[in-house]
Amino acid sequence: MLKDVPSFDKLVHELGKLPGIGHKTAQRLAYYVLRSPSEYSSELSEALHSVKASVKECPTCFSYTENEDQCKLCASDSRDDSVLCVVEEPADISRIESSGAFNGRYHVLHGALSPLDGITPSDIRIQPLMDKIQKGINSQGPVIEEVILALDADLEGDTTVLYLAKILSEKGIKSSRIAHGVPIGGDIDYIDNRTLERALENRVQL
């Protein structure tokens, strides 16, 4: 901690707003910035500006992109228009893409329903999802036949899955949720009760 150096305190304060960065860590980071050549703080500063200036939401899937119109995945011709994978956050798409196990289209909700936090269906991208289901991914293409809900396995994710599954079944659209269970390589001894409960419930017939 440095005394009587207000600009240092200000930097500590701003860094401390980042998630998972407490006061002590923020001090350590600010101290590093102070000791580094000024190129570093300029580059970090520039990167902060540029990410806010050039990154925007894809109008189709609501993921992040720097493209003028659609993101690369939405613009691609080789994806299956009849399967839509719904995720909570843009970062989830890259996770699923890197598994190579999905070749359909994506839709980012930007959150999940949380009555406790006051997050209702109108706060997340549920209406655009419904429009997409109505019209298809693009007007010439096939209709959406299946919606895969790849939402988090927490209370908010569960709430959103229940909500969407109900609407989708009313519209006669097949919906599914990604499986939850023991991770590959996971030791049953170390798995929590709720995961094990889910793994037993959703056991796969051999």
Kindly state the smallest distance separating residue 79's Cβ from a copy of itself, in Å.
14
Choices 23-31, 120-128, 146-154, 172-180; region in contact with a copy of itself by CB under 8 A: 23-31
* 76 binds a copy of itself per the rule CB under 8 A: no
C-beta of 76 vs 202, nearer to a copy of itself: 76
Q: Taking CA 75 as the corner, what is the angle to CA 170 and CA 139, rounded to the nearest 5 degrees?
A: 45
**Cβ atoms 150, 85 nearer than 8 A:** yes
Helix (H) or strand (E) holding 27: helix 23-35
Nearer to a copy of itself, 123 or 146 (CB): 123
Question: Exactly one of 60, 61, 62, 65 binds a copy of itself (CB under 8 A); which one?
Answer: 65
Provide the pairing of β-strand 64-65 with 56-57: antiparallel
* 95, 125 Cβ separation under 8 angstroms: no
Q: Per CB under 8 A, does 146 bind a copy of itself?
A: no
Q: Which DSSP letter does residue 119 get? A: B
42 binds a copy of itself (CB under 8 A): yes
Of the candidate spans 59-67, 99-107, 158-166, 169-177, the one that interacts with a copy of itself by CB under 8 A turns out to be 59-67
* DSSP track, 144-165: P-EEEEE--SSHHHHHHHHHHH
For position 18 contacting a copy of itself by CB under 8 A, the verdict is: yes
SS3 of residue 31 by DSSP: helix
Q: Are 171 and 145 in contact (CB under 8 A)?
A: no
Stretch that binds a copy of itself, among 88-96, 128-136, 163-171, 189-197 (CB under 8 A): 88-96
Strands in the chain per DSSP E: 56-57, 64-65, 83-87, 105-108, 146-150, 174-177
152 binds a copy of itself (CB under 8 A): no
- Judged by CB under 8 A, which of 22, 23, 66, 169 binds a copy of itself? 66
Residue ranges that bind a copy of itself, judged by CB under 8 A? 1-8, 10-11, 13-15, 17-21, 25, 27-34, 38, 40-45, 47-55, 63-67, 71-73, 89-91, 93-95, 97-98
